[in-house]
Structure 1
Amino acid sequence: MANNTTASAASASTALKARIYKAPEKAEISGRSIFLAGSIEMGAAEDWQTVMTNRIAHLPITILNPRRPDWNNSWKQSASDPQFREQVEWELDQQERCDVIAMYFDPNTKAPISLLELGLFAQTGRMVVCCPDGFYRKGNVELVCERAKVPLVQNLDQLIDKVIEKLTEEKA
């Protein structure tokens, strides 16, 4: 079942049309879909996923959000840990099947997994990336995006605008 509480802060004048799933919920894709990739680091990263969700929830899309409220930092970062495996596989599965991957690099984080995912999915033609000044590997992100022709923006508002543009463009 889609979790529509995430978008509860969306404007009351705009009807909520999005289906919203958080890891590890079984996602049923309806319409265009977006995966919210990027910095999550609890306590350091801005909760940009909620900001994005609130701004795009009026669209008839499916939003796939890896930020989960029950994440436990004590889970062993190992393929043998069932909860860790479930999270990572959910993220990879959703990125492989979605129409758009929005990636945000918070300057207050290192985001090594996001860098890895950028490398995995840059060539798909489905990414839009935001890498503000101050991110410690901004140059690497710029060069990968340039090489793969991934749209790169400087702030969250620009990312949201690009995402809306990409989600509402006609499919080829």
Structure 2
Amino acid sequence: MRAILPPAIIAPSNVSVFLAGTIDMGHSIDWQQKFIDRANKEETLNDVVVFNPRRKSWDHTWAQRIENKQFSEQVNWELDAMENADVILLFLEANSKSPISMMELGLFADSGKLMVCCEEGFWRKGNIDIVCKRKGIDHYNTFDELSAAVIDKLKKLANIK
């Protein structure tokens, strides 16, 4: 499994997954690395690309405005990666707000790519559950269940392509 972080160029790949969800300006647990570590144990996923938006060089003082080059680069990188990914893993941590993740759910709800876990205690869990049910989005109760399901889907896709 090869991880690509912003602002690295998004290269074409056989199979890819985007890790959407709670980051909370870098204050949430690094569940992205937890997923990557788990997936790296699977030999059949060696050629899979993981788009991880958790930018190591993120500066919280950057103005979140379209005119800010670094901010615009980050947002466009994420949108490009989600559009190019085969699977979008979306994890919403219980005690987070994650407004951008909810926007991403709306943007990609009809894509057929989303696989979602919204933990119990998330402030808008009811909304997330309803959107997932209405749009037929695979929905899981725990991060571990979501991770296992995404890994299974990536294995299937890797065998097809």
TM-score over 0.5 for the alignment? yes
Alpha carbons 1:34, 1:102 under 8 Å: kept: yes
Letter matched to residue 72 of structure 1:
D
Instruction: Identify if the C-alpha distance between structure 1 residues 56 and 149 changes in structure 2 by more than 3 Å, giving closer, same or farther.
Output: same
**Is this contact kept in 2: 1:44–1:108, CA < 8 A?**
no
Q: How does 1:112-131 map onto structure 2 within 5 Å?
A: 112-131=99-118
Distance 2:13 2:70 in 1: 26
Kept after mapping to 1: 8 A contact 2:25/2:60: no
SS at structure 2 position matched to 1:26: coil
Percent identical residues: 43
Structure 2 residue runs without a partner (length 5+) = none
Query: Which of 120, 145, 159 is the equivalent residue of 1:158?
Result: 145
Q: Quote how far apart the aligned CAs of 1:32 are.
A: 0.6
Equivalent of 1:40, from 20, 23, 28?
23
Amino acid at match of 1:20: A
Partner of 2:38: 55
- Give the conservation status (yes or no) of the 8 Å contact 2:90–2:115: yes
Higher helix share: 2
**Distance in 2, Cα, partners of 1:29 & 1:40:** 25
Verify: 1:24 aligned to 2:7, yes or no. Answer: yes
Deviations along 1:2-50, whole A, 9 cap, x unmatched? xxxxxxxxxxxxxxxx111011111223221000000011454111100
5+ residue gaps, structure 1: 1-17
Taking CA–CA contacts closer than 8 Å with sequence separation of 6 or more, which of the two structures ends up with the larger relative contact order? 2
Structure 1 stretches of 4+ with a deviation exceeding 6 A read none
TM-score by length of 1: 0.86
CA distance in 2, matches of 1:52, 1:39: 13
Number of residue-to-residue matches in the alignment:
155
> Helix, strand or coil for the counterpart of 2:106?
helix
Write the mapping of 1:1-172 to structure 2, written as runs, cut at 5 A: 18-42=1-25, 44-57=27-40, 58=42, 59=45, 60-170=47-157
Pairwise CA distance, 1:143: 0.6
Shift of 1:80: 0.7
Q: Partner letter of residue 2 of structure 2?
A: R
